[in-house]
Structure 1
Amino acid sequence: MFRRSKSDSPSTTSEPVPQTTAAAERPGAKGRPTPTRKEAEAAARARAKVPRTRKELAAAQRAARAESSQNVRTAMKSGDDRHLPARDRGPMRRFIRDFVDARFSFMELMLPVMLVTLILGWSGRPYLVSIGNTLLFGALMLIVLDAVFLRFRLRRELAARFPGEPTKGTTYYAIMRALQIRFMRLPKTQVKIGQALPERYR
């Protein structure tokens, strides 16, 4: 009367029995896949880079400064805009450098002329001193005229290539570069004298 029928036995029930996962069967399982050896090594290297003491922090800062200085020195030779100092960065500054480097300038003769004038002045001979003074005065006149001509042409080119952009400090930047001897200029020259410049510097 109170017997179970065959259809009521646990072995013959139609309800699905939930399957337990391997992680649930093992107590203390992580519940996530084990990282590969490559991932573990990368995580270990990342942890090793984090400075833990003041000494390690100072060493990391020195290494960062050295790397930054090396990047700047390399950029000064290659013209890489990403690592140049702020005063040399940007398409407008790059164009000004190329514009100055692509033309012969009397201004770059300033230092050699001054050196010759000093040597003639130290000679103690009035005739040579007079020659030196005349040479210096003539060079100064040419440099002033060259600077005025450079400013006029540079402003015209900047208005055509960079319309609407501020040009404050561009004349000073161009003249200071033109006064340097060509092989001493930094960033290094990237164009030859007389070379045609691209229309766009974006």
Structure 2
Amino acid sequence: MNKTLAVILICLFSLSVAVAAKDNFHTISRNVQPVRHGKLSTSYVVKQTDRVAQCVESAASQRADVKRCFSATNSTVYDPCFNYLQGQLICLNSPWDQNATVVQLNQPMPNNAPATTTVVKTINPWAMELKSGERCVALTGATTGVKGERINYGCTPTVSLLGNPYRLKQNVWAIKRYDSQTQQVSEALIAEMFY
């Protein structure tokens, strides 16, 4: 009888630990700062340079200090781009890609906003990592809709995210995940949001 009771207690304890671990999940917000004190962060390596004709407000990020730049040499659009040196910006494809592009402005950019050093949670992130491990970035061009919601983030060739993140409870955010192969829409927990 004591062995049975011990097994039951161990099972109950294991179950309570699993439930507690699930309840401890929370979404982390990260402020992407490839440039610190006028220098490129050691996390990034410049792999490419380009000249840009114009930079405007970013479509990927809603931060005031982030820009969207148009190449003067080809049809490339760089977004997001962060202030770097005088007349230069650092552009990233995603927060996980260590390769950066330095773009040189053909003309001065008006209204250079200072770098945002704190996370602004009232705006939508430009990238997310789901609890499942899938990584997704904001889609800045024309996209389609699914069940009345715009596809706002691309993750893989078959997985995208619909609409914007929403709060489930304190420090836990989710978003609708769409799988084009199965045509299924499900709720996905967000592990990290990048601003």
For the pair shown, which has the larger CA radius of gyration, 1 or 2?
A: 1
Give the structure with the larger helix fraction.
Answer: 1
Report the TM-score when normalising by structure 2: 0.24
